[in-house]
């Protein structure tokens, strides 16, 4: 079963040694991928700890996350509570 992770927890992981991003409702621990990212680690670190869906989709086809993201997926973004 997939872990449900609030964005407040994702926000705590925003360094080169501990880097999580959210894309299209899923959370990825991309720490080990930073050095291998073809666009360089800085491109990912700019979105670290955040929802990177918009930035990701501007630069990649949706098939990229399907093909390469599964090994880094650690859960799903928790639905936000309504006020």
Q: How many CB atoms lie within 10 A of CB 10?
A: 24
Report the relative pairing of strands 18-23 and 14-15 from DSSP bridges. Answer: antiparallel
Residues 6+ apart with CB under 8 A from 77: 4, 5, 6, 7, 10, 22, 25, 26, 27, 51
pLDDT at 25: 94
- Reported pTM: 0.91
Rounded average pLDDT over 65-69:
87
| pLDDT tens-digit map of 20-61 | 999 999 999 999 999 999 999 999 999 999 999 999 999 998
Q: Give me the torsion for CA of 30, 5, 47, 34, rounded to 10°.
A: -10
């Amino acid at each position: 079963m997939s872990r449900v992770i609030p964005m407040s927890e994702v926000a705590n992981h925003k360094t080169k040694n501990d880097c999580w991003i959210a894309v299209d409702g899923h959370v990825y621990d991309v720490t080990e991928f930073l050095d291998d990212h073809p666009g360089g680690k800085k491109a990912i670190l700019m979105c670290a700890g955040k929802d990177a869906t918009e930035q990701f989709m501007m630069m990649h086809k949706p098939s990229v996350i399907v093909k390469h993201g599964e090994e880094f997926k650690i859960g799903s973004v928790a639905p936000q509570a309504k006020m």
